Amino acid sequence: MLTLYIMKTHHKEKNIADLYYTLSGLWSEGMIVSNVKEINKDEKSTDWYIVFFDHEKISFELKDAVEIMMNADPKIDVFIFMEKNGEVITQSPRMFRNHVLLQKDSFLPIDNGYKYERILDGWVKKIGV
Q: What is the dihedral of CA 14, 16, 22, 23, to 10 degrees?
A: 140
How many degrees, rounded to 5, is the angle at CA 97 between CA 28 and CA 120? Answer: 90
Q: pLDDT tens, 46-79?
A: 999 999 999 998 898 999 999 999 888 889 999 9
Condensed to tens digits (0 to 9), the pLDDT of residues 12-48 reads: 888 788 888 888 899 999 999 999 999 999 999 999 9
Instruction: Measure the CA–CA gap between 56 and 7, rounded to whole angstroms.
Output: 10
pLDDT value at 109 more than 80? yes
- pLDDT of 126 reads 82
Radius of gyration of the chain measured on its C-alpha atoms: 14
Show the domains of the chain with their CATH numbers. Answer: 2-126 (3.90.550.10)
pLDDT at 101: 97
pLDDT in the model for residue 20: 87
Q: How far apart are CA 43 and CA 58, in angstroms?
A: 25
Which conformational region is residue 36 in: left (phi greater than 0), alpha (psi within -120 to 50 degrees), or beta?
alpha
Interacting residues of 105 by C-beta distance below 8 A, sequence separation 6+: 35, 36
The predicted model scores a pTM of 0.91
Task: Tell me the residue type at 36.
Answer: V
Band (pLDDT 50/70/90 cuts) for residue 129 is low
* Amino acid 128: pLDDT: 64
Q: How remote is the C-alpha of 4 from its chain's centroid?
A: 7
